[in-house]
Amino acid sequence: MDKTPTGRRRLIKWLGAGSLLAAGLIGGGVLGSTLSASADPTATPSDQSSTATKTVDPGGSKPVRSDEQAVSSALEAELKAAALKAVPGGTVIRVETDAGDGEWEAHMRKADGTLVTVKFDKNKAVIGVEDGMGKGDPGHR
C-alpha cells in the first residue's frame, strides 16, 4: 500500500503530465520550424537540393537559356551597379546577355523577395525593369 499523501500524489501526476506536454510542444515547434524553413513555393525541382537556410534563386548564377551567355567580370560589375541603382535594396542573382529586347539583363531579387529582371541597351543604359524572371522574349539578334 502506498503511504504518499493524496495531495502529493496528485501534484506528482500533474508535474509528470505537464513535463510531457512541454516536451511535446518543444519537439513539435522544432519539427514545425524545420519543415516550414524548407518549404519554398517558388522552388523548382532542381532547387530541391538546396539547403533550408539558403534563399532559392531561380536558375542560380549561370545563364539558364542556351541562347544567353555569361558576361565578363568587368561588364558584370558595371551592369550590377546599374541594376542596383534601378532596384535599390535588391540582390543580383545573375547578369547575362539577353536573347530578347535588350542587350543584357540582370535577374534580381527585390528587398521584398519578389523577382525582377533589369534590361539594358547596347549603351549599358537601363531600358526597363520587368516583373519576374523576364518575358522570355524570342531572340533579337
Instruction: Break the chain into its structural domains and give their ranges.
Output: 6-49, 55-141
Yes or no: say if 112 and 80 are a contact pair by the CB < 8 Å rule.
no
Instruction: Report which of 92, 88, 126, 86 is spatially closest to residue 109, judged by C-alpha positions.
Output: 92
pLDDT of residue 12: 73
Yes or no: say if 67 and 99 are a contact pair by the CB < 8 Å rule.
yes
Q: What are the backbone angles phi and psi of residue 78, rounded to the nearest 5°?
A: -65, -45
* Tens-binned pLDDT, residue by residue, of the chain (141 aa): 555 567 777 767 776 666 666 666 676 665 555 554 444 444 444 444 333 334 566 766 676 677 788 899 999 999 999 999 999 999 999 999 998 889 999 999 999 999 999 999 999 999 999 998 877 665 544
CATH number of 55-141: 3.30.505.20
